[in-house]
A = this chain, B = another copy of it.
Amino acid sequence: MPRAGLDSAGVIERAARLLDEHGSDGLNLADLAESLGVRAPSLYKHVEGMPGLRRGILLRAKADLAQALGQAAIGRSREDAIVSVSHAYRDWARAHPGQYPMTVRAPADGDAEDASVSSRLASVVFEILSGYRLQDDDAVDATRFLRSALHGFIALETSDAFALPVDLDRSFDRVVASVVTALTNW
């Protein structure tokens, strides 16, 4: 039997792809194994079962999203930054519909690595509000508002909850514009 030459990162990467292609509840070890040219039990040499696999995808997804958002924020501030990051956020979510819901989950208790990457993700959003010079609770409330509007739109959009045939791009732009206005007058 020739070896497949798998490693942990490769298994997780392929799983993340299948997750995006087949939806949040369409990921299973049999299909993943087949996609990698291997039998299901072999996956346990690289990943700690389904829970470990999901955790691996989650860490990778949060890190990847944080990177994308950080990229979009470079050299921008205030409205400019918010618009750019908002669109990067939506683009990432639409490109990764299976992984996206994982990026929203709070870090698991006692998982230091998850806590670390989660706070990195949160801080990107927090940072782009720094240009508005909000203090303490104001900053927290504003961050929550921004996250709520973005996540809400994206969650509804990716679950096809916006039924009407009216341009989604424009709707999103108006959401972002409304948020910017609200923050300006916060």
Chain A residues with CB under 8 Å of chain B are 104-106, 122, 137, 140-141, 144-145, 147-153, 155-156, 159-164, 166-167, 170-171, 174-175, 178, 181-182, 185
Q: Is the CB of A174 within 8 A of B141?
A: yes
Residues of B close to A159: CB separation below 8 A: 104-106
Consensus secondary structure, chain A interface: helix
Contact of A178 among B105, B155, B163, B182 (CB under 8 A): B182
Tell me which residues across on chain B come within 8 A of A155, comparing CB atoms. Answer: 104, 151-152, 155
B105, B145, B181: the one within 8 Å of A149 (CB): B145
* A147 vs B155: C-alpha distance when bound (angstroms): 11
B153 touches A170 (CB 8 A): no
Q: When chains A and B are docked, how far (Å) is the Cα of A122 from the Cα of B178?
A: 22
Number of this chain's copies in the assembly equals 2
Measured CB to CB, the nearest residue on chain B to A138 is B174
Which of A145, A163, A185 is most buried by chain B, counting CB atoms within 10 A of its CB?
A145
- Taking a contact as CB atoms closer than 8 A, the residue among B152, B162, B164 that contacts A152 in the complex is B152
Q: How far is the CB of A1 from chain B (nearest CB, A)?
A: 36
Q: Given A150-B152, A166-B137, are A145 and B175 also a contact pair (CB < 8 Å)?
A: yes
Q: Which residue of B lies closest to A142 (CB)?
A: B174
Q: Which residues on B sit within 8 Å (CB–CB) of A140?
A: 164, 166, 171
CA–CA, A148 to B141, complex, Å?
A: 16
Asked whether, in the complex, the Cβ of A141 is within 8 Å of the Cβ of B171, the reply is yes
Q: Which residues of chain B have C-beta atoms less than 8 A from A141's C-beta?
A: 166, 170-171, 174-175
Residues on B with beta carbons closer than 8 Å to the beta carbon of A156: 104, 144, 147-148, 151
8 interchain residue pairs of minimum CB distance: A152-B152, A148-B152, A148-B153, A178-B182, A106-B160, A151-B152, A140-B166, A144-B171
